[in-house]
Structure 1
Amino acid sequence: MHRRLIWLGLFVVICFVAYMSFGARGPLSFVISFRGTKLAALLLVGVSISTSTVLFQTITQNRILTPSIMGFDALYVLILTAAVFFLGGMNFTSLSDQTIFIVTACAMTLSAFALFSTLLRKTQNNLMQMILTGIILGALFRSLTSFMQRMIDPNEFAVIQNVSYARFTQIETDLLAIAAALCGLALIFAWRMRFELDVITLGRETAINLGLDLKRAELKALMITAVLVAISTALVGPMAFLGLLVVSLARIVTPVEKHSVIFVSAAFISAITLVGGQTLLERVFRFSTPLSVVIDLVGGALFLILLIKGHRK
């Protein structure tokens, strides 16, 4: 397994070098500052989403679920749509990136905290009921978003479309620093939970018999997941199927249940997917299609394959 992780790490380095050097023109200092910010954003989002997906799949004991099923992406689009609907397109575009980032990140994090803490207490650790509630809330958010989008001006609708997909071309350095600090802290807590997560993988009854405070561990993992998803989504936008894609590949490449391996493997594959994919789209094929659209297409197909495969079993 360590040899496979080393090979993945080498691929990550190759992708980094290709992204920073391929087609680079101008002074080296400008290239490093311009592409370096985008590279850091790709890496931060990739690690955050892969880690949050591993956490969510472990506590739900289901390998086809991702945090996006709880309605995070739908809530993000709803917040931006509501801002355009009530403020107007001109006033919305005049808002600073810092304001939009803080509002969306805080709203998603607080909503997730309220959902997780309330339902886990009232349903006595019934995670499936909590997930169903998240699915219903996601459907409600999408309905409200569709209702407001039908009532706004077409030009203002174009503003919403621009922010509804993940974007890595314009990342403010200040926003990246704040997001890196918050996500870095959450990633440290996630790494410290790796042994508890290994125990949870054995099953709920086994984990309880081994003395693990399961309710506390699940709530802590959900809180970390909420922070990682909220911050990464507020920074670049929603990427619904990235987590499912990279974690599924990580479990194939490194088929072990140790979270110390899965965390690293999924982070490496996520970095390769984002950095390598962005390099190919921007530098080789020169496509204008956002990378998130391609990832959602591949990830959606993988989700259907896993769903059908699991149903047949």
Structure 2
Amino acid sequence: MSNRTKLLILFILTIASILFFLLFKLGLHWEYLLTSWDQFTDDVAYAFRNRSNKILAMTIAGTAIAFSTVIFQTVTHNRILTPSIIGLDWLFLLVQTLLIFFLGGKNYAMISNEWMFLISIGTLVAFSIILFKIMLGKEGRSVYFLLLMGIIMGALFNSLSTFMQVLIDPNEFLLAQDKMFASFNNVQVKLLWWALGILIATIAIFFPLIRYLDVLSLGRDQSVNLGISYQRVVQITLIIVAILTALSTALVGPITFLGLLVVNVTYEIFKTYKHSILITGSIFVSIISLAIGQLIVERVFTFSTTLSVIINFIGGIYFIYLLLRGSK
């Protein structure tokens, strides 16, 4: 089976999963047909609008995570790494905890969703750019040196967040706890369009560089010999990774293992080095996973857990499997 055929099948499955999520048991209250047709149509319209917002959030977050993970693994030449290793997830939680700690729960709740979104993205991207500039500013420094510093900074952010969460009021701690897990249930509509605009603009800026990724996957020496400005392309790629990771994290919260899971599944489906196919396929797999996972959260677990918990559980097991398989 050719890669184009596989992409077509994945595209059909993506559309099917979206439609299934949107239409599954949409009209539950059929008793309104006997009493109030207007009430019935209003309920159906509200449910469809709510599900549409969720599926749009899944599409944005899934696309950002899949895209950033593929290009990040290409730059690092490692298929078991995700952008979260830089420490952006813990930095996001630290920013939220700092705001709660210094402003208090009431003032924190008064911050508009738009400002909170911009503060989160701005902080994460600014930290990433500074880290990249310091770690990769000198010629010859390895990307693995950046990853090591990212792990250390992530541990520091985690420790600071935990320390301040112990000090704040228990009621205010619940606000910080809500930010620890990704959720598609309370996404703001205005933020969706902001996030969609940033996503499209970021991918459009990086699009001309996608053709270099096939060469970058060969390694630093081969890329330089083939005439690619390796340091420049790597730095731009990492900045794009930071923007997309910050975007998905600020929109729905941290989903640590989603990128690792969907991208490695894509590698298993498509035995190719072409990133145009890998990126497209991983986006489709990501949207399918999120749509089906959210449906399971709502219909099977009845909102007793969050989608990020399920994904991190499955992704953690798959991560261990990849490590064991790699050791053999």
Distance in 1 (CA, whole Å) between partners of 2:164 and 2:88 is 18
The aligned counterpart of 2:86 is 70
- Is residue 101 of structure 2 the alignment partner of residue 99 of structure 1? no
The aligned counterpart of 1:168 is 184
| TM-score, scaled to structure 2 | 0.92
- Is residue 48 of structure 2 the alignment partner of residue 46 of structure 1? no
* 2:137 alignment partner, SS class: helix
The answer to whether the 8 Å contact 2:14/2:284 transfers is: yes
The answer to whether the 8 Å contact 1:250/1:265 transfers is: yes
The answer to whether the 8 Å contact 2:21/2:291 transfers is: yes
Deviation (angstroms), 1:14: 1.1
**Taking every aligned residue pair, what percent have the same amino acid on both sides?**
39
The answer to whether the 8 Å contact 1:105/1:231 transfers is: yes
The aligned counterpart of 1:80 is 96
1:106-153 CA distance string (max 9 Å, x none): 000110011112211136341111110000000000010111011111
Distance in 2 (CA, whole Å) between partners of 1:95 and 1:285 is 32
Distance in 1 (CA, whole Å) between partners of 2:179 and 2:166 is 17
Q: Which amino acid aligns with 1:292?
A: S
Larger mean Cα displacement after TM superposition, 162-171 or 238-247: 162-171
Residue 167 of structure 2, aligned match among 131, 140, 151: 151
Residue 311 of structure 2, aligned match among 282, 295, 301: 295
- Is residue 5 of structure 2 the alignment partner of residue 3 of structure 1? yes
Structure of higher CA gyration radius: 2
Distance in 1 (CA, whole Å) between partners of 2:98 and 2:266 is 37
Q: Which runs of 5+ in 1 are unaligned?
A: none
Aligned length: 312
Deviation (angstroms), 1:56: 0.6
* 1:107 alignment partner, SS class: helix
The aligned counterpart of 2:204 is 188
1:1-313 to structure 2, matched below 5 A, reads: 1-25=3-27, 26-27=40-41, 28-122=44-138, 124-310=140-326, 312-313=327-328
The answer to whether the 8 Å contact 2:139/2:231 transfers is: no
Distance in 1 (CA, whole Å) between partners of 2:173 and 2:139 is 39
Deviation (angstroms), 1:90: 1.8
Q: Which runs of 5+ in 2 are unaligned?
A: 28-39
Larger mean Cα displacement after TM superposition, 263-272 or 173-182: 173-182
Deviation (angstroms), 1:157: 1.0
Q: Which amino acid aligns with 1:88?
A: G
The answer to whether the 8 Å contact 2:68/2:240 transfers is: yes
| TM-score, scaled to structure 1 | 0.96
* 1:202 alignment partner, SS class: coil
Distance in 2 (CA, whole Å) between partners of 1:76 and 1:124 is 30
The answer to whether the 8 Å contact 1:116/1:130 transfers is: yes
* 1:199 alignment partner, SS class: helix
